[in-house]
Amino acid sequence: MIHVLLADDHSLFRKGLRNMLEVEEDIRVVGEARDGLEVQALARELAPDVALLDINMPSVDGLDAARELRRAHPRMGIIMLTMFAEEEFVRRAVAAGANGYLLKDTPFSGVVGAIRAAARGESPLGPGL
């Protein structure tokens, strides 16, 4: 079972993604965070295999959260799931410790595949990135 932690400041997006992921037999969403501070606290408490982070969140953004998650949990898969397609954001995310980067318009099957890949220690990138 792959334990996943979701972090996005849009509740509707988090709930929708959670509902979609719950149909996968090998994936379990163990928590949801509204910002980078909350995702760090939940990661300490829940020890997920993979964290999906938005970049643009209040308090602590996804890039800073990824940097702290990588430091505190070196084996955790970290995937940025965001609207930002610019190369600079991809570079900054990888430098912060993310091992995956997907756009929010990625087909659901691509998100599931990326979660599974990150759990195996691979570095999934969305098409064209």
All domains in the chain, ordered by first residue: 2-119 (3.40.50.2300)
Output the average pLDDT for the chain: 95
For the stretch 42-92, pLDDT in tens is 999 999 999 999 999 999 999 999 999 999 999 999 999 999 999 999 999
Instruction: Break the chain down into helix, strand, coil percent, rounded to 5.
Output: 45, 20, 35
Q: What's the predicted TM-score (pTM) here?
A: 0.95
